[in-house]
Chains A and B, each alone.
Chain A
Amino acid sequence: MAVIEVSQHVDARGLSCPMPIVKTAQAIKTAAVGDLIEVLATDAGSVKDFAAWSQRTGNELVEQSVDGGVYRFVIRRK
């Protein structure tokens, strides 16, 4: 697997809807186009929410995985 250069991390573990999305949206504003942002969340609803958010905003959901109740999303800024 190719090594992914993540430029920013958003730790939304322990936060409920809508904060994982809100924090990601705030972080992405400070990122450069093409930058990758890694988000960690424990909100189970965030799987569907990140898909919807990515669809709406056009920021690409590059990777997603779950490990021990922690969801990890890697997003590329549009």
Chain B
Amino acid sequence: MTTETLLPVDPIAQAVAIADRGPASRPSTEPEPARAEPSEPAAAKDILIINYSGDLEKVWATMILASTSAAMGVKTRVFVTFWGLQVFVKDSKRITGETWMQKMLAFMQRPGISHRKLSKMNFLGMGPWMMGTLARKYGVASPRELLEVAQEMGVEFLPCQMTMDMFGLKPEDMIEGMGEPVGAATVIGLMTENSVPLFI
């Protein structure tokens, strides 16, 4: 045997890799192999962002990635659920819901994309205010601006039906241009088809 450098062979990793070579439709966890023609764009997958959080910094990440993904010509969907759903209620809505508990929740956490709090260093709104000031200074688009361009560029925002029911949100509470409410099965369906999922 020569002393040439060989790649270390891990029998378990090898077995997993072989077992993973399923039908082409199955989403692969392996990195894309190097392409013969670098000028040819790789086959586009869709992007599916699950916007679970209502925190300012996470919503910002969702909006940056969603608008960029659409700008790169990738079909982009954002499933909005739980605290993330509050983000897509109209800014002008103050109290939403039917029951006192739903109303109380809306009161405690003001809905709307312009009323997001930071998950840390919120300091009664001082943190978000400083973030907004810094963002303007450095030419960073706000979540609200990014949401507008994302919608213009065809990003689909799909509200979670279950969360809408639980929070007592009605379609007229939500911003214009939202997609039809869907459920977890739609999300899983997209993930197992052609979508790269991101949970934010």
| A interface residues, how many (CB within 8 angstroms) | 18
* B182: interface (CB < 8 Å): no
* B152: interface (CB < 8 Å): yes
Knowing A56-B73, A57-B73 are in contact, say whether A26-B139 is a contact too (CB < 8 A): no
CB-based contact B139/A19 at 8 Å: yes
Q: Which of A1-9, A10-18, A32-40, A62-70 is near enough to bind chain B?
A: A10-18
List residues of chain A with CB within 8 A of the CB of B141.
15-16, 18-19
CB-based contact B74/A18 at 8 Å: no
CB-based contact A53/B139 at 8 Å: no
Shortest CB-to-CB span from B5 to chain A, Å, is 31
* B81: interface (CB < 8 Å): no
Interface residues on B, range: 20 to 34
- Main SS at interface, chain A: helix
CB-based contact A24/B71 at 8 Å: yes
* A25: interface (CB < 8 Å): yes
A26–B141 alpha-carbon span in the complex (Å): 15
Shortest CB-to-CB span from B151 to chain A, Å, is 12
CB closest chain-B residue, reference A57: B73
* 22 A–B contacts, CB within 8 A, in A order: A14-B139, A15-B139, A15-B141, A16-B138, A18-B68, A18-B71, A19-B141, A22-B68, A22-B153, A24-B71, A25-B153, A26-B149, A26-B153, A43-B139, A52-B72, A53-B72, A55-B38, A55-B39, A55-B41, A56-B41, A57-B72, A57-B73
